[in-house]
Amino acid sequence: MAADPPVTSAPQDPLVCIRGLRFTRGSRVIFDGVDLDIPRGKVTAIMGPSGTGKTTLLRLIGGQLKPMAGSVLVDGQQVAKLGHGELYALRQRMGMLFQSGALLTDLNVFDNVAFPLREHTDLPEAMIRDIVLMKLEAVGLRGGHQLLTNELSGGMARRVALARAIALDPMMVMYDEPFAGQDPISMGVLVKLIRLLNDAMGLTSIVVTHDVPEAMGIADHLYLISDGKVVEQGSPAQLEASSSDWVHQFLHGEPDGPVPFHYPAPDFFDDLMAGEQ
Amino acid sequence: MAGMIRRLGRWGLSFFERLGRGHLFLLEALAGLPSLLSRPGLVVQQLYSVGVLSLLIIVVSGLFVGMVLGLQGYNTLVGFGAEQSLGMLVALTLVREMGPVVTALLFAGRAGSALTAEIGLMKATEQLSGMEMMAVDPMRRVVAPRFLAGFISMPLLAAIFSTVGIYGGYFVGVGLLGVDAGAFWSQIQDKVDLHEDIYNGVIKSLVFGFAVTWIAVFEGYDATPTSEGVSRATTRTVVHGALAVLALNFVLTALMFGEI
């Protein structure tokens, strides 16, 4: 298992603290002055329309991207300023579930879950086997430990990736669109697992999603992001009670509202008449 | 005119930017090599997929190239009554030129393209990102073992190519066309020099192995993470790899054997 982490911030402080975050891709502004706190031991959902940079936010937290301005602190450490060794030491205390699962396709299920243990520990193979089987048992796939990755369904692949993400008993797990493209049963399993693992292992979970019912069902705290800013935040009940029309439209999936159904265009009648002329 | 200069400038900037990226990538890959000392298994695994799996194409090609050399060499030499020198001609052609060059071209096509496609697909399916987030450096875990395996495999494959080629030439010259077997082997023993021919051939194949493997792993790592991007990167590996081998071969030949 990973060694006990150095205490770099007080237990009551948020595990992730983002201040004045600015990030751009070319001329496109992804985040513009975002402030965000991820409390310890809770499930925090980050929601927003497609393309708002939710996955980018996870990559900024994980140090795969650097912000143009502002700070991203994880457990008191400013991620963008960490050296290679310090960043990799911090990442050993993070788990990330990619949307695709990102399983190593040349390894079977067992070896995928064992991968971080073999890379970062000197544990004997017998102990690695026990840990891997325990993690797979937690996600309900102990029986499938010899399956190849191409024999897994989408939901099973994500559960294996989840077992791998928790292999080193991290302090936090980031989930990138865990429910996307899942059938109702797989989605129910994943919803249950995220909540259960968070509570049983004392994790901090960050779930990036645009699946409203699932996020509202498991999250303790939610952030709604749009156009590079935090539009609303709070508990599921607080978001439901929000007076913002945009929040209402997003949460209830209404086709028209502050986000219009029609792309901006000249008057329809004038447009048709212009063709006649 | 201004547009053409602008395009040329843009092309030049992008070329040098990519060249710089390639060199930085190489430095990172080389920096990852010492970590392999404690994990030789990673290199052995890659030696199998890069080297052993290339054996069939190398052996078959070597045999046919040697047979053609035997046939063409005999037809030329017999006009001068010098067909007994066939062994020397086949061996020197293979050891100095054909062995390293053809092996490197085949290596770029078989192993190089496979390396690019594998690493490119790992990137496209977020496996490299996943490794980074598991605090495993893909440069050390994925790139460095493949780079070293390619570098080691090339001279071995070139040696096998040349050996099989000589036997191909022997089969045609001695077996089918009646050249004296003793003359065939004694000419090789007499005229092929360890330093000038064998060592230079080995140096060539080491340089080609370095260049082709570098291009292959860089193209995979730098590929646009889409199916089209991986496909383009794979094509670039074969084209750039082949061009690099041919250009380097001229430079090395001029340095080793030429009077330039």
**Dist. CA A195–CA A205, nearest whole Å:** 9
Question: Which amino acid appears at position B252 of this protein?
Answer: L
* Predicted pLDDT at A184: 83
| Inter-CA distances, B179 with A273, B64, B142, B154, Å | 91, 18, 50, 32
Upper half-sphere CA count for residue B138 (Cβ side, 13 Å): 21
pLDDT at A4: 47
Mean pLDDT of B81-104: 92
Mean of the per-residue pLDDT values for chain B? 92
What is chain A's mean pLDDT, rounded?
Answer: 86
**How many whole angstroms from its chain centre is CA B74?**
29
Distance of CA A24 to the CA centre of its chain: 20
Q: Which residues contact B89 (CB under 8 A, 6 or more apart)?
A: B69, B73, B77
- Summarised one tens digit per residue, pLDDT across range B39-53 is 899 999 999 999 999
The confidence band for B26, taking pLDDT boundaries of 50, 70 and 90, is very high
Closest chain A C-alpha to B126 CA, distance in angstroms: 5
Alpha carbons A161 and A130: distance in angstroms, whole number: 17
Read off the pLDDT of each residue in B82-102 and give the average, rounded to a whole number.
92
Closest CB to A62: pick one of B133, B136, B141: B133
Q: What is d(CA B146, CA B138) in angstroms, rounded to the nearest whole number? A: 11
Binary contact (A64, B126; C-beta < 8 A): no
Distances (CA, A) of A264 to A233, A249, A257, A259, B89: 29, 18, 13, 11, 76
- For range B65-77, the mean pLDDT: 94
Instruction: Measure in Å the smallest separation between the Cα of A261 and chain B Cα atoms.
Output: 31
Among B53, B163, B177, smallest CA distance to B98 is for B163
Of B132, B136, B137, the CB nearest to A64: B132
Q: What is the tens place of the pLDDT at every residue in A80-125?
A: 999 988 999 999 999 999 888 889 998 999 999 999 999 999 999 9
Parallel, antiparallel, or unpaired for β A204-209 and A172-176? parallel
Identify the pLDDT of residue A27.
Answer: 84
Question: What is the pLDDT, as a whole number, of residue A2?
Answer: 46
Interface ipTM: 0.81
Distance CA B40, CA B33 (A): 11
Closest CA to B160 of B60, B88, B85, B246: B60
Residues of chain A with pLDDT below 70 are 1-11, 277
If you search the block for the tokens 């980050």, which residue do you land on? A46
According to the model, what pLDDT value does residue A3 have? 45
- Across the interface, whether the CB atoms of A104 and B127 are under 8 A apart is answered yes
Q: Report whether pLDDT(B145) > 90.
A: yes
* A141-152 CB burial, b ≥16 within 10 A, e <16: bbebbeeebeeb
Closest by Cβ to A119, choosing from B122, B125, B136 = B136
Q: Do A94 and B133 touch (CB under 8 A)?
A: yes
pTM of the model: 0.85
First to last CA, chain B: 39
- Is the pLDDT at B184 greater than 80? The verdict is yes
Give chain B positions within 8 Å (CB) of A92: 134-135
Count CA atoms within 13 Å of residue B129 on its CB side.
24
Model confidence at B148: pLDDT above 50: yes
Other beta carbons less than 10 A from residue A202's beta carbon: 11
Name the residue in chain B with its Cα closest to that of A102: B127
Edge-first strand listing for the sheet containing A229-234: A94-97, A172-176, A204-209, A43-47, A221-226, A229-234
CA–CA min distance B96, chain A (Å)? 38
Nearest Cα residue to B187 out of B210, B170, B165: B170
pLDDT in tens, B194-216: 888 899 999 999 999 999 999 99
Yes or no, beta carbons of A62 and B125 under 8 Å apart: no
Q: How many CB atoms lie within 10 A of CB B241?
A: 27
